[in-house]
């Protein structure tokens, strides 16, 4: 089986420098797709580009947190449980999980799906900014609600069917196998396709890390990808003096943009036998039989 990689650009619409990098990478077809943030301040610019490039694969980056003072924003619905004392979306996932009301979260999900539809964007998939819907901080998950929204629209969602032992963040999490099995079975029952694996790397610049070290690390991962459809996500941006001074680890975003254009990375993709794919492929090829999946889900739950 071929090694298929989805390279998704998160945070499309967060800011003008992020938009510039993502639009360039999409135009050059160096990445598979991008996911757009409907509440963010750069959404209109990103949406305008999407309308002019209907061939691009654009997903919805469901957004319930606004972590940076430099680019804060509120919800589309204005529901009070979705905001902190300053009137913006919460800065942390834990604060969102503790403060949000389920009805308000569902209403905001619908509003964000509606916003991209009104903007004329035919989204191919959905994912979630900062993993705020996964329940990772307090166990208060909104995944069943987001799976239902994706099911109604016939679109895939960013999850992963299998745990790659090399991915320490997920492989070593307590109880992850049982939790993942239930979530995947629910996706399958609802007809929501998911990739086989998720490949991650640290968002922050690690102590002593350089661009060359970062490049070597990601290129090495290309040669050890498991077979199937693997997604990894990046947060590319062009250099920006203002945001670079106000957003932690902005330089890592610039590195990610630079890496996608680096001929060494392109050559490594070819040498490793890795082909870019996208979420349309996931939706067409990776759905599972719903009845059989429902029976498996019932066994897992009861």
Number of other CB atoms surrounding residue 136 within 10 Å: 15
Stretch 212-226: mean pLDDT: 96
Q: Is the pLDDT of residue 162 over 70?
A: yes
Q: What pTM did the predictor assign?
A: 0.96
pLDDT (0 to 100) of residue 168: 65
Alpha carbon distance 77, 74 (integer Å): 9
Alpha carbon distance 270, 260 (integer Å): 14
Q: Is the pLDDT of residue 154 over 70?
A: yes
Number of other CB atoms surrounding residue 257 within 10 Å: 25
Number of other CB atoms surrounding residue 118 within 10 Å: 10
Strand partners, 275: 4
Beta-strand (E) ranges in the chain? 3-12, 33-36, 58-62, 126-128, 197-199, 228-234, 274-276
pLDDT confidence band for 166 (50 / 70 / 90): confident
Half-sphere exposure of 240 (CA within 13 A, CB side): 22
Stretch 32-52: mean pLDDT: 98
* pLDDT per residue as tens digits for the range 200-209: 999 999 999 9
Q: Write down the residue that tokens 């070819």 correspond to.
A: 270
Number of other CB atoms surrounding residue 267 within 10 Å: 11
* pLDDT per residue as tens digits for the range 91-104: 999 999 999 999 99
Where b means 16+ CB within 10 Å and e means fewer, 137-149 reads: eeeeebbeebbeb
User: Strands 3-12 and 33-36: what pairing?
Assistant: parallel
Beta-strand (E) ranges in 38-177? 58-62, 126-128
C-alpha 24: how far from its chain's center? 19
DSSP secondary structure of 180-205 = HHHHHHHHHHHT----SEEE---SSP
* pLDDT per residue as tens digits for the range 236-256: 999 999 999 999 999 999 999
Torsion sign, CA atoms 112, 118, 121, 122: positive
Return the biggest CA–CA distance within the chain: 55
Stretch 81-85: mean pLDDT: 98
Give the lowest-confidence range in 79-83, 189-193, 293-297: 293-297
Tokens at 216, concatenated: 């070597």
Where b means 16+ CB within 10 Å and e means fewer, 215-235 reads: beebbebbeebbebbbbbbbb
C-alpha 167: how far from its chain's center? 17
């Amino acid at each position: 089986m071929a090694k298929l990689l989805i390279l998704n650009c998160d945070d499309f619409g967060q800011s003008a420098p992020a938009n510039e990098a993502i639009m360039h990478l999409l135009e050059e077809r160096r990445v598979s797709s991008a996911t757009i943030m409907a509440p963010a301040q750069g959404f209109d610019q990103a949406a305008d580009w999407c309308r002019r490039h209907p061939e691009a694969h654009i997903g919805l980056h469901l957004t319930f947190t606004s972590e940076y003072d430099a680019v804060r924003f509120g919800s589309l619905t204005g529901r009070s449980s979705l905001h902190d004392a300053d009137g913006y979306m919460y800065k942390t996932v834990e604060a969102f999980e503790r403060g949000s009301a389920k009805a308000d979260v569902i209403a905001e999900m619908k509003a964000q799906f509606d916003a991209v539809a009104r903007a004329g964007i035919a989204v191919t998939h959905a994912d979630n900014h900062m993993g705020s819907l996964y329940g990772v901080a307090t166990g208060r998950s909104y995944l069943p609600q987001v799976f239902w929204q994706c099911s109604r629209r016939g679109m895939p969602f960013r999850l992963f069917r299998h745990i790659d032992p090399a991915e320490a963040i997920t492989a070593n999490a307590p109880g992850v196998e049982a939790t993942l099995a239930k979530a995947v079975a629910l996706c399958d029952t609802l007809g929501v396709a998911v990739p086989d694996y998720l490949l991650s790397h640290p968002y922050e610049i690690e102590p002593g890390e350089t661009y060359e070290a970062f490049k070597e690390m990601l290129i090495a991962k290309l040669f050890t990808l498991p077979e199937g459809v693997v997604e990894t996500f990046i947060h590319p941006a062009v250099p920006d003096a203002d945001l670079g001074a106000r957003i932690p680890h902005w330089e890592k975003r610039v590195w990610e943009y630079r890496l996608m254009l680096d001929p060494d990375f392109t050559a490594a993709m070819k040498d490793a036998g890795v082909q870019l794919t996208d979420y349309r492929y996931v939706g067409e090829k990776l759905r599972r039989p719903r009845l059989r999946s429902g029976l498996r889900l019932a066994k897992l739950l009861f």
